[in-house]
């Protein structure tokens, strides 16, 4: 999946000449935590986050509040030349960029112009969609040998039972690296026939079936 499919197009931005006060207000108003700072021709020159602002603005509990900090220009406090991504980058790759750089948002730039933004929240929601957990279904866990073609063998059972698969996740088996655990969400309230089918086909169904309780 490409970033252009999940990025937000309507990006709230400010200019380097805007002030800390402007940034605080616009973040509060729009309930956002990341502000790309752009030039007149839409080029991204910086980014400022709510965390940056918290470090600049003194606590309201403080005795002496220096009002001048609110007038500081963003050009002085923004993170210059932030990490950006392209609309045609893969979502998975971007997730790695978030993780390795410990950042909370990525401005999306094309032809030197800001065209969108994605945040950690967008990625998390996409992950939820990938697991299929947001739509009605039952979950089945199957232990399979880690060999080519095994997914085909498993999915054949779903085909035979006319069961619609919502999502498939593949996990390593902690107990035995020669195996994988398939976590499959299927669109049914009655998974019993499918489970029987999987067992008949020789697969080990881990759930529903907990060790020690049969």
Partner 1 sequence: MAECTGNFVMKKNAVFIYSKEQLGYSFSDSHPFNQKRIVLTLDLLKKSGAITDSDIIAPRTATDDELFLAHDAKFIDVVKKAGKGEIKEAACEMYGIGTEDTPIFPNMHEASAMLVGGTLTAVDEVMSGRARHALNLGGGLHHGFKGRASGFCVYNDSSVAIKYIQQKYGARVLYIDTDAHHGDGVQWSFYDDPDVCTVSIHETGRYLFPGTGSITERGNGKGYGTSFNFPIDAFTEDESFLEVYRTAIKEITEHFKPDVILTQNGADAHFFDPLTHLYGTINIFHEIPRLAREMANKYCEGRWIAVGGGGYDIWRVVPRAWAHLWIEMNGLDAPTGPLPTDWVKRWQSESPVSLIETWEDPVPLYKPIPRKEEITEKNAQMLEQALQIIREKRESC
Residues 193-212, one symbol each (x = binds partner 1 by CB under 8 A, - = not), give x-------------xx-x-x
CB 56 within 8 A of CB 69: yes
**CA 174, chain centre distance (Å):** 25
Told to check if 167 binds partner 1 by CB under 8 A, we report no
Told to check if 31 binds partner 1 by CB under 8 A, we report no
Buried b / exposed e along 38-74 (16+ C-beta atoms within 10 A): beeebebbbbbbeebbeeebeeeeeeeeeeeebeeeb
Least distance between partner 1 and beta carbon 136 (Å): 3
Among 101, 112, 164, 176, binds partner 1 (CB under 8 A): 164
Query: Quick one: which of 111, 95, 105, 80 has its CA closest to 11?
Result: 105
CB of 86 or CB of 126, closer to partner 1: 126
Among 17, 81, 99, 136, binds partner 1 (CB under 8 A): 136
Instruction: Tell me the number of residues near partner 1 by CB under 8 A.
Output: 24
Told to check if 156 binds partner 1 by CB under 8 A, we report no
CA distance 138 to 184: 8
Tokens 């880690």, located at residue: 146
**104 DSSP β-pair partners:** none
Told to check if 135 binds partner 1 by CB under 8 A, we report yes
Told to check if 187 binds partner 1 by CB under 8 A, we report yes
CB of 19 or CB of 193, closer to partner 1: 193
- For residue 8, which phi and psi values (nearest 5 degrees)? -85, 135
CB 201 within 8 A of CB 193: no
Near partner 1 by CB under 8 A, which window of 8-16, 41-49, 157-165, 168-176? 157-165
Which stretches of the chain bind partner 1, using CB under 8 A? Answer: 133-139, 161-164, 185, 187-193, 207-208, 210, 212-213
């Amino acid at each position: 999946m490409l970033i252009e499919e999940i990025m937000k197009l309507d990006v709230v931005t400010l200019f380097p000449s805007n002030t800390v006060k402007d940034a605080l207000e616009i973040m509060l108003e729009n309930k956002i935590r990341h502000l790309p700072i752009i030039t007149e021709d839409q080029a991204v020159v910086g980014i400022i986050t709510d965390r940056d602002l918290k470090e600049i603005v003194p606590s309201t509990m403080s005795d002496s509040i220096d009002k001048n900090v609110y007038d500081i220009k963003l050009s002085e406090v923004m993170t210059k030349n932030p990490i950006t991504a392209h609309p045609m980058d893969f979502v998975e790759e971007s997730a790695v960029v978030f993780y390795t750089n410990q950042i909370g948002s990525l401005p999306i730039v094309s032809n030197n112009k800001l065209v969108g933004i994605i945040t950690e929240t967008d990625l998390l929601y996409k992950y939820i969609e990938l697991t299929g957990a947001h739509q009605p279904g039952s979950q089945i866990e199957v232990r399979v040998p880690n060999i080519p073609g095994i997914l085909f063998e498993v999915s054949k059972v779903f085909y035979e039972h006319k069961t619609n698969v919502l999502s498939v996740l593949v996990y390593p088996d902690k107990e035995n690296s020669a195996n994988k655990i398939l976590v499959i969400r299927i669109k049914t309230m009655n998974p019993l026939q499918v489970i029987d089918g999987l067992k008949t086909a020789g697969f080990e169904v881990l759930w529903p079936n907990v060790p020690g309780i049969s």
